[in-house]
Amino acid sequence: MANLFNKFRSLEETRAGLVAGSGVDPFHVVVERVVSATEAIINGRKVIMAGTNNYLGLTFDPECVAAACRAVSEEGTGTTGSRMANGSYAAHVALENELAAFFNCPAAIVFSTGYIANLAILSTLTGSEDVILLDADCHASIYDGTRLGSAQVIRFQHNNPADLEKRLQRLGDRAGNTLVVVEGIYSMLGDRAPLREIVDMKNRYGAFLLVDEAHSLGVLGQQGRGLAEALEVEAEVDFITGTFSKSLGSIGGFCVSRWPELETVRYAMRPYIFTASSSPSLIASTRKALEILHRSSALRKKLWDNATQLYQGLAAMGFELGPEISPVIAVRLPATVAETTALWNELLSQGIYVNLVLPPATPGGKPLLRCSLSAAHSQAQINAMLDAFSHFKEKLQAHA
Q: What is the DSSP string of 58-84?
A: GGG-HHHHHHHHHHHHHH-S---S-HH
CATH of 9-49+297-399, one of 3.20.20.70, 3.90.1150.10, 3.60.15.30, 3.30.1490.190: 3.90.1150.10
Burial class (CB in 10 A: 0-12, 13-18, 19+), 285: buried
Pick from 97-111, 181-195, 359-373: least confident = 359-373
Give the pLDDT of residue 394: 76
pLDDT at 23 over 80: no
Q: Dihedral sign, CA of 48, 373, 37, 279?
A: negative
Compute the C-alpha angle 281/286/289, nearest 5°.
Answer: 130
pLDDT at 2 over 80: no
For 47, the enclosing helix (H) or strand (E) is: strand 45-49
Pick from 197-211, 343-357, 371-385: least confident = 343-357
Where helices occur in 206-260 by DSSP H, the ranges are 227-230
Please write the tens of the pLDDT for every residue from 256-294: 999 999 999 999 999 999 999 999 999 999 999 999 999
Picking from 240, 232, 236, the residue whose alpha carbon sits closest to that of residue 262 is 240
Q: Which of 202, 246, 302, 377 is catalytic?
A: 246
Picking from 336, 335, 381, 379, the residue whose alpha carbon sits closest to that of residue 354 is 381
Picking from 140, 83, 95, 62, the residue whose alpha carbon sits closest to that of residue 244 is 95
Provide the β-strand partners of residue 131: 152, 178
pLDDT at 310 over 70: yes
Residue 383: pLDDT band with limits 50, 70, 90? very high
pLDDT at 21 over 80: no
Give the pLDDT of residue 128: 96
Q: What is the DSSP string of 251-317?
A: S-EEEEES-TTHHHHGGG-HHHHTSPPPPHHHHHHHHHHHHHHHH--HHHHHHHHHHHHHHHHHHHT
Residues 103 and 256: beta-carbon distance below 8 Å: yes
pLDDT at 399 over 70: no
Please write the tens of the pLDDT for every residue from 31-58: 999 999 999 999 999 999 999 999 999 9
Mean of the pLDDT values across residues 367-378? 96
pLDDT at 400 over 70: no
Picking from 245, 272, 263, the residue whose alpha carbon sits closest to that of residue 123 is 272
Give the pLDDT of residue 299: 98
CATH 3.40.640.10 domain range(s) in the chain: 61-295
Question: Above pLDDT 90, what percent of the chain?
Answer: 85
Q: Which of 22, 123, 187, 247 is catalytic?
A: 187
pLDDT at 398 over 80: no
DSSP 138: -
Residues 218 and 300: beta-carbon distance below 8 Å: yes
CA dist., res. 64 & res. 60, Å (int): 7
Q: Which amino acid is at 305?
A: D
Q: Is residue 187 annotated as part of the catalytic site, yes or no?
A: yes
Q: Does domain 61-295 correspond to CATH entry 3.40.640.10?
A: yes
CATH 3.90.1150.10 domain range(s) in the chain: 9-49+297-399
Measure CA 220 to chain center.
14
Give the pLDDT of residue 362: 85
pLDDT at 1 over 60: no
Q: Which of 92, 139, 202, 215 is catalytic?
A: 215
Picking from 190, 199, 241, 195, the residue whose alpha carbon sits closest to that of residue 219 is 190
Q: Is residue 215 annotated as part of the catalytic site, yes or no?
A: yes
CA dist., res. 138 & res. 156, Å (int): 10
Question: What is the model's pTM?
Answer: 0.95
CA atoms in the 13 A half-sphere facing the CB of 176: 2
pLDDT averaged over the chain?
95
pLDDT at 245 over 90: yes
Measure CA 262 to chain center.
23
Q: Are strands 39-42 and 45-49 parallel, antiparallel or unpaired?
A: antiparallel
Please write the tens of the pLDDT for every residue from 131-155: 999 999 999 999 999 999 999 999 9
Residue 27: pLDDT band with limits 50, 70, 90? confident
